[in-house]
Amino acid sequence: MRVVFLLMISLPVTNGQLNHQIRAHFDFESPVKHDYKLSGNFCELRNSHFHGGLDIKQSGTGKDTIFSIGDGYISRIRISPDGYGQALYIDHPASGLTSVYAHLDGFSSTIDNYIRQYQFLNESYDTDLHLSAEIFPVRKGEFVGLMGNTGHSFGKHLHFELRETATDKVLNPYLMGFGISDNIPPTLLKLQIHGLDSQLHKVWEKPVNLSPYHAETIELSGIVSVPASRAGISLNAYDRTNGSANRQGLYAIRLYVNDTLVYSSVMDKLPAEQSRYIKGFVDYGAKLKNQGMYYLCYRYPGNDVSLIQHERNGIIDITTGDTKNVVLEVEDFAGNARKIKLQIQRSDTEKKPVEPPVSATLIEVHQNADVVIKNLNVSFRKNSLFRNIYLELDTVIQTNKNTLYRIHKRDEPIKTPLKIGITPDITIPDRLFDKAIIIREGSDTRWNCGGSWNGRQLETTISEFGNYTLGFDTIPPRIKPISFLQKAGKFNQFRFSIADNLPVLKNGYTNAMHIKVWIDDTFHICPFDAKSQTLTIPLRNLEKGKHNLTIEVKDHSQNTAYFNSEFYR
């Protein structure tokens, strides 16, 4: 598929369809040679972030090859056991864009040899190489890699992105001509009407099941009475593209009240640092309750994600005796649209918000605040939150342990990480000082949040409210053979399960496990898959005879585990 752009075009808005700005003078080709189908689209809602590109399905004909979409050079090679797995970044100077190819199973032989040399010299599988233009120039249509399933991927596909090189903003590839056929309108599942207090916290909600309706326009019967002076709408919906059963994200949402546009979001461009703002873009509480991903059709005061394009905030003010005519429109990039019409009014009785505890502290979105309880300090900076909260802190005294701190309610989204510091309640022996970490206590898992000493206080950052305590990590990781025989025979590889007792929450204060493998005292390049916690040790190029295998695994606190064994080929 060849994609050519002529001029900067601004398509007019007609029949509710969106204004698409198409860029000019770019001569791109498809990253794959088959007519592709999608399993994911740009900015669809993922668990903790907006999806940054297109997920292109495999062709079904074997190993799918990946090609550069245009002339340029490889500017970055990133290899990680999670995230994008094996990924290439190619800069295209003529357009000012960078294309990204992620979850690859392998690279061209030239690229692969270069990477392996770097890994060998640095004794590390993890790789993050930033390259100058003269090292790896590429031409349009040049083979660069193989479609795969590496990193945080759960099926073979290509994650394909386009970014502005200068700003690193991710762009919707549809705008650059990488769209596919689509005549399927979005599917609407459920609507929620929220009654809101002055800080935009829900005091009441009414679910409306939309699944029986298949018309282009759904008109809800009756008038919904809301026991609050403010109302908001949220929507559980998805889109599909031709030839794919995968649920994908909506492109645009518009909310009208009495024929006035009060809210609009469009999935065109997103700064990289805003990807995690999804927590304030969806009904975060409903997500944690496994009720589904609901698009909030109103804006929290601290939510400045650039996907929201209208200056109004979508909040519906309701006065007594006044009926509001509400229209919600959703649309995909191809212009397939659905519409919901309903009426709301204020009920005679108002649902009062739950009064916060007397000890709660008001934290406002646009102000700094430091809150202390016992030996815990929580530091809020401007725009740490999406909306004002009455911060609730509590303590639980643990026998012969440090205090457990309950920091607010888990269903309240945090916008940017908060710094917390805990001073130990107990005297820490010298041998444990470097093993001290802050632990998040989950319902079934304890998470390592790391920490750095600032005087007598251990500091870290958190991205989620919950239960935290100061603890110690003294247990080394576990190395368990999955497929290993001393008489290896014609084995092409060994596989080991590698796990730590305290999974790491990466936050700048923690490090993931560091794994090294030696065969006959020579470093061996071995991929580790974080999602399956599997280390693979290739044996294809190993000579026949006796060999010695050593595996070393260090966790965040430098607890180290070893596996040593002889084997025979």
Third-level CATH fold of 361-433+440-469: Chondroitinase Ac; Chain A, domain 3 (2.60.220)
Above 50 in pLDDT, residue 562?
Answer: yes
Question: Cβ contacts of residue 410 below 8 Å, gap of 6+?
Answer: 288, 464, 465, 466
Above 50 in pLDDT, residue 167?
Answer: yes
> In the prediction, which pLDDT does 10 show?
37
State pLDDT tens for residues 236-245: 999 999 999 9
On whether the CB atoms of residues 105 and 146 are closer than 8 A, the answer is: yes
> In the prediction, which pLDDT does 102 show?
98
% of residues, the chain, pLDDT over 70: 96
Q: Is the dihedral of CA 178, 181, 185, 186 positive or negative?
A: negative
Above 60 in pLDDT, residue 209?
Answer: yes
> In the prediction, which pLDDT does 20 show?
54
Mean pLDDT, range 78-97, rounded to an integer: 96
> In the prediction, which pLDDT does 350 show?
82
Average pLDDT, the chain: 92
CA–CA dist 141, 157 (Å, integer): 19
On whether the CB atoms of residues 140 and 69 are closer than 8 A, the answer is: yes
Nearest to 536 by CA among 501, 505, 492, 566: 492
Among the four given CATH numbers 3.40.50.300, 3.40.47.10, 2.60.40.10, 3.40.50.2300, the one describing domain 478-568: 2.60.40.10
> In the prediction, which pLDDT does 23 show?
47
Cα–Cα distances in Å, from 15 out to 262, 339, 456, 471? 18, 12, 64, 60
Above 90 in pLDDT, residue 401?
Answer: no
Write down the domain spans for the chain. Answer: 2-176, 187-346, 361-433+440-469, 478-568
State pLDDT tens for residues 219-274: 999 999 999 999 999 999 999 999 999 999 999 999 999 999 999 999 999 999 99
More confident site: 354 or 87: 87
State pLDDT tens for residues 475-498: 999 999 999 999 998 889 999 999
State pLDDT tens for residues 177-198: 998 899 999 999 999 999 999 9
> In the prediction, which pLDDT does 19 show?
52
The H-or-E segment that residue 238 falls in is strand 230-238
Above 80 in pLDDT, residue 7?
Answer: no
Third-level CATH fold of 2-176: Glucose Permease (Domain IIA) (2.70.70)
Task: Give the amino acid at 99.
Answer: S
> In the prediction, which pLDDT does 3 show?
45
Mean pLDDT, range 324-329, rounded to an integer: 98
Cα–Cα distances in Å, from 61 out to 17, 243, 549? 37, 17, 37
Q: Is the dihedral of CA 447, 449, 450, 451 positive or negative?
A: negative
> In the prediction, which pLDDT does 2 show?
42
State pLDDT tens for residues 332-384: 999 999 999 999 999 988 888 888 888 899 999 999 999 999 999 999 999 99
The H-or-E segment that residue 547 falls in is strand 546-554
% of residues, the chain, pLDDT over 90: 84
State pLDDT tens for residues 13-29: 333 445 555 444 478 99
> In the prediction, which pLDDT does 436 show?
96
> In the prediction, which pLDDT does 11 show?
36
Mean pLDDT, range 541-564, rounded to an integer: 95
Confidence of residue 5 (pLDDT cuts 50, 70, 90): very low
Map 45-112 to HEC letters.
ECCCCECCCEEEECCCCCCCEEECCCCEEEEEEEECCCCCCEEEEEEECCCCEEEEEEEECEECHHHH
More confident site: 174 or 211: 174
Above 70 in pLDDT, residue 427?
Answer: yes
